[in-house]
Structure 1
């Protein structure tokens, strides 16, 4: 195992720099579920080409990018937010972050500019692991596990920088990994 931090709800999974799976290449995943039955999370640094207003027509001002959350149920929309005070709904995942909630309330908050684009992040699909699968992948050094360095990290819109920043946050032992080229043949 690359580091000794165990996965749990509210922690980050950071893919090793040369992961072969194109869905997770240089990805940072926020875990929203982790238990005996498996794990669920969302890739934080794979912005798609769609904006929220492109997918939900009555959100006329929603310029939020929709991120690729993972390869499971890629036709479903999910969200992470930090506006519980306004929404009064969502599952807590730590550090003032919530998963899901009342979408109708969220729709009103977006249309009335009561929340900022930096308070909510949307995903098509999610990342999922069966019972024990994630633990095996961590043992095989496919993932590093980290606490969230700062809740603002979750809402970053600089995909490559996000991956590098969370690796550097792991400490000097891992910082050099952040400089590895995306294509190992360029090393």
Structure 2
């Protein structure tokens, strides 16, 4: 179905609004450089611009070498992930609340910086790990972030570079042996699952 490739593929399905907690799935056949076959978690999206994290690009750096106190909570593989090319000196921790834990309960503990839906939370720094163990089932650490100038992310979506859907907690903590990009496509409406078998370019999921 070559007529569905490129910018026309994501025009063939209903478009969803983008906002905090959205998952951006890169178009299957577009050479987007760093973003080829990528999944991005949107952290913020407003008139000042947009901010996100790349979820499926793992670094070679072990969390234990930087924050050994968090190692027990880190989802496997226990590596720092590359969140983006901007602010690479900064580590951001994203967690998944345990089943039954409400956002209000967690916010009362003052360790949540932001809630992104589906039990996904951005955590404050300098957290008491013992408290986290009570409330959070897993975390993942990201170095860097992706930034868009005002209006730029929406233009990219309109051009068909990204498909927008809701992020799931499993997207944040996807195991290393899983092709997270393909798995995300498989749960979308037709015809998107048909493109989940697009050949992998050996990105490190």
* TM-score category (smaller protein): 0.7 to 0.9
- How far the C-alpha of 1:18 sits from its partner, in A, is 3.0
Stretches of 4+ aligned residues off by more than 4 angstroms: 60-63, 106-110, 113-116
* 1:93-112 equivalence runs, <5 A: 93-101=116-124, 103-108=125-130
What TM-score, normalized by structure 2, do the two folds share?
0.76
- The reply to whether residue 157 of structure 1 matches residue 175 of structure 2 is yes
Gaps of 5+ in 1: none
The answer to whether the Cα contact below 8 Å between 1:47 and 1:159 also exists between their aligned partners in 2 is no
Greater CA drift, 10-19 or 78-87: 78-87
Number of residue-to-residue matches in the alignment: 177
Using a 3 Å threshold, how does the CA distance of structure 1 residues 47 and 106 change in structure 2: closer, same or farther?
A: farther
The alignment's TM-score, normalised by the length of structure 1, stands at 0.82
Listed one character per residue, the Cα deviations across residues 1-51 of structure 1 (whole Å, up to 9, x for unaligned) are: 534112111110011123323221111111110111111111111111111
Deviation at 1:133, TM superposition (A): 0.4
Give the conservation status (yes or no) of the 8 Å contact 1:45–1:160. no
- Residue in 1 aligned with 2:190? 172
| CA RMSD after TM alignment | 2.4
Structure 2, unpaired ranges of 5+: 1-9, 98-102
Cα 1:127/1:159, change in 2 over 3 Å = farther
Asked if 2 retains the 8 angstrom alpha-carbon contact of 1:45 and 1:159, the reply is no
